[in-house]
Structure 1
Amino acid sequence: MALQPTPDQKIDRQTTTPFLLRLYYRSNGFHSPNEFSTVPPPSWLQQSSLQIYTWPSCTLAELTTLLTTALPSLLPSPSVGTRIGYRLVFPDTRSVPASGGSDAPGRWLSKELGSVILGHGDDYDQENDPAALGRMDGDAQKTLADARFVIGDYISCAVFPPLADGSVAPLPPATPAIRGTPGRGGPPRGENGRPSRSGRGGDRAFGPMGVPHGEWRRGERVPEYARSGRGGGGGERERGGGRNRPY
């Protein structure tokens, strides 16, 4: 059972309680995931953020409207052709301190959500035209649920003004995926951050840190396996083994 609705599931915003989302913003570049390793984030980082109450059906267009309404100074003048990129920032469940202690800072990862381009593609004079700002191209209709957002994740956004020739600025390269643990090789990992079943070392349903093995997606409840006692059968093993799916 998913912890957030599927992309095609309707949400009644009149009866569904919204959750608190913290949106971090920066001009001409994204925040590094490493900046979020302290929980809660330091005050200097929180100063460049907005607190938004919203729902999993919130679109990038809605986030853009909230951001530009609250902080119009983030936009250049004219603002048409400005690209606002979004990334999901979330804790790395693979990051377990070597000492086993809980005081070491955790590691955070980022994932591309998409970008929105303001008022691009119209032929008339659009300088600071409110109607033009309402026209958004790109991934404007992508929702948090589409990205498998989990309550507690952060959203990082970056504002990229048009280039000198008026063209839309490209997004910077995505942050490369981190494989294994720092400084070491590691077995292939499923999208839940735990080693996949292709590794050696047993086939227990639950690993030593209490995170189940198997093919479950981040943002979903873990599979319910019956644990078998010593010397006794009857415990249902995970079947199929399927392929690892990328996050």
Structure 2
Amino acid sequence: MLKNISTFDREKDCPFLLRVFTRQGGHNSIHSYSIDNVPENELTLYTWKNATLEEIAQLIEQVIPEARDPDARISFRLVYLNKNAGRFFQKDIGRVVSAKPTRDQKKTLEESRFMIGDYLDVAIFIGPPPAIARDQRRDTRGSRDMGRFNTGRPAMRTGDRRGSYGRDYANNNRFGGGARPRRDY
């Protein structure tokens, strides 16, 4: 969280136009954002920089019926233009789940380093997260690179010619290697 957060008085300060692009089932591709083009599914809101993700989610729920589902998960992504690179970048800033409070709910646009002119890309997911994703978060000991039987050693790559005892089989004729070419005559 940022320490130097300015204060906004919603009675005195003027709100700004926030352009939100929604999509059910996932985020819009970063390639769909350019100087001349944006995704078609645009929602425009007037808000302040101290608006929380929960407040924005409530505004989205008023307009998009799918977001009102009790099992809906709303994921927020900041899309901003990097003027030096001349292209758009994205950054995940939080999730709001209507059935269960998250720590991201109270995060403000300002804490997310939002600047006026940036876009919000919002993905609406219906139902609980996939069971595979939950299991991977719970058990972080194994990974795809740890071999077939999770032995703690990385799996052998295609070009890796070392055996299980550390022997180099690249120069062994029995295993297809060898310093001399094979002659069949």
TM-score bucket (shorter structure): 0.5 to 0.7
- Would the alpha carbon gap of residues 148 and 33 (structure 1) be closer, same or farther in structure 2, given more than 3 Å must change? same
Displacement after TM superposition at 1:94 (Å): 2.9
Matches within 5 A, 1:67-86: 67-72=60-65, 74-75=66-67, 79-86=69-76
Task: Label 1:92 to 1:6 Cα distance change in 2 as closer, same or farther (>3 A).
Answer: same
Matched, 1:64 2:60: no
Residue of structure 2 equivalent to 1:92: 82
**Cα offset for 1:164?**
8.5
Matched, 1:29 2:26: yes
Q: Does 1:155 align with 2:120?
A: yes
1:69 Cα offset (Å): 0.6
Deviation at residue 40 of structure 1 after TM alignment: 5.0
1:20 pairs with 2:17: yes
Structure 2 unaligned spans of 5+: 135-185
Unaligned runs of 5+ in 1: 96-105, 121-135, 171-247
- TM-score of the superposition, structure 2-length normalised? 0.64
> What amino acid is aligned across from residue 94 of structure 2 in structure 1?
G
CA distance in 1, matches of 2:42, 2:129: 28
- 1:164/1:10 Cα in 2 relative to 1: closer, same or farther (>3 Å)? closer
For residues 86-106 of structure 1, what are the alpha-carbon distances to aligned partners after superposition, in whole Å with 9 as ceiling and x for unaligned? 0000012232xxxxxxxxxx4
- Name 1:124's counterpart in structure 2: none
More strand by share: 2
RMSD of aligned Cα (Å):
2.4
Match of 1:140 in 2: 105
Does structure 2 retain, via aligned residues, the 8 Å contact 1:7–1:145? no
Residue matched to 1:116: 96
Which residue pairs with 1:107 in the alignment?
87
How far is 1:161 from its partner?
Answer: 1.1
List 4+ stretches of structure 1 deviating above 6 A: none
Deviations 1:31-62 (A, max 9, x none): 11221113353xxx23x111111100011001
Pick the structure with more helix per residue: 2
Q: Residues of 2 paired with 1:117 and 1:39: CA distance?
A: 33
**CA–CA distance in 1 between the matches of 2:128 and 2:105?**
21
Distance change in 2, residues 1:138/1:81 (3 Å): farther
CA distance in 1, matches of 2:90, 2:129: 29
Distance 2:28 2:13 in 1: 31
Could you tell me which amino acid in structure 2 is paired with residue 162 of structure 1? Answer: G
The residue number in structure 1 matching 2:46 is: 53
Matched pairs, number: 132
Paired letter, 2:21: Y
For residues 179-198 of structure 1, what are the structure 2 equivalents within 5 Å? none
From the CA coordinates, give the structure whose radius of gyration is larger.
Answer: 2
Within 1, Cα distance between the matches of 2:10 and 2:72?
30
